[in-house]
Amino acid sequence: MIYKFFESIRLCNGQFGNLPLHEERMARALQFCGEESVYPDLNLYLDGFDVPQKGLYKCRISYSPGIAPPEFVPYQLKPIKSLRLVEAADCSYAHKFADRSCINKLLEQRQDCDDILITRNGFLSDTSYCNIILRDKQGKWITPSTPLLPGTQRQSILMQGLAEEREVHIADLKEYNLFKLVNAMITWEEAPQIPIRNIINSHIG
């Protein structure tokens, strides 16, 4: 079976993270392809499986058409210290598609950096698998309002008031001094603070 979409859900010591936000994203994806009727209740669905109770796991759910049994994979944070700016005006990833060939092609341009930071028409979006949150010189945390994929962790951070949305152009990077990378598996508290100078080819003055 070839599924169109997938979700990666944080499972820490038997507790799932941000399930309502994952459900909302799945609902949007299913509406996008006209399959609203198969939208699952994740609490009910996951309750039917043997879930690891200790440690940190990535729970991967592949779906549409139908939904596959979840996969539980032990997770370790991969250290990211440097990003290379890559322009990709035509790359579209509005839903969590199983086909990531567009992003993987961009990732080939990272050269000696750990990951890429995708821009579209010069405006920041995401890395290959994280949303970025930047701290300006006044101490305010900002996430670009033009993400490639609005993540569940990003949405949770916005809902908690820990950061706000703003357009961020490459030329604006000189106004920031730090950044964090977050995704479903990396919480606000766990994400390390990285100097803005580690964004390569950013023309920071």
Tokens of 121: 């028409």
Please report the pLDDT score of residue 83 as a whole number: 97
Same domain, residue pair 164 and 125: yes
Same domain, residue pair 34 and 9: yes
Print the domain residue range for 135: 83-200
Same domain, residue pair 103 and 187: yes
- Scanning 70-201, the segments in alpha helix (DSSP H) are 101-107, 152-159
CATH number of the domain enclosing 63: 3.30.470.10
Please report the pLDDT score of residue 155 as a whole number: 97
Owner of token pair 């309750």: 47
**pTM, two decimal places:** 0.92
Q: Which of residues 74, 92, 111 is at a domain's end?
A: 74
Please report the pLDDT score of residue 39 as a whole number: 62
Distance CA 195, CA 1 (A): 43
Within a 13 Å sphere around the CA of 185, how many CA atoms are in the beta-carbon half?
17
Same domain, residue pair 172 and 138: yes
Maximum Cα–Cα distance across the chain: 55
Task: Look at the chain and report how many structural domains it folds into.
Answer: 2
Domain membership flag for residue 14: yes
Same domain, residue pair 105 and 152: yes
Distance CA 83, CA 69 (A): 34
Q: Which of residues 74, 108, 127 is at a domain's end?
A: 74
The tens place of each residue's pLDDT in the chain, 205 residues long, gives 789 999 999 999 999 999 999 999 999 998 888 876 566 789 999 998 999 999 999 999 999 888 999 999 999 988 899 999 999 978 889 899 999 999 999 999 999 999 999 999 999 999 999 999 999 999 999 999 999 999 999 999 999 999 999 999 999 999 999 999 999 999 999 999 999 999 998 444 4
Please report the pLDDT score of residue 203 as a whole number: 47
Same domain, residue pair 90 and 186: yes
Q: Which of residues 42, 74, 106 is at a domain's end?
A: 74
Domain membership flag for residue 205: no
Same domain, residue pair 124 and 191: yes
Domain membership flag for residue 138: yes
- Return the sign of the alpha-carbon dihedral for residues 141, 145, 151, 152: positive
Please report the pLDDT score of residue 35 as a whole number: 73
* Bridge partner residues of 7 (DSSP): 61
Complete DSSP assignment for 43-72? HHHHTTS----SSEEEEEEEESSSBPPPEE
Domain membership flag for residue 171: yes
Domain membership flag for residue 134: yes
Domain membership flag for residue 121: yes
Please report the pLDDT score of residue 202 as a whole number: 47
26's CB contacts (< 8 A; 6+ apart) are 5, 7, 39, 40, 42, 63
Same domain, residue pair 19 and 46: yes
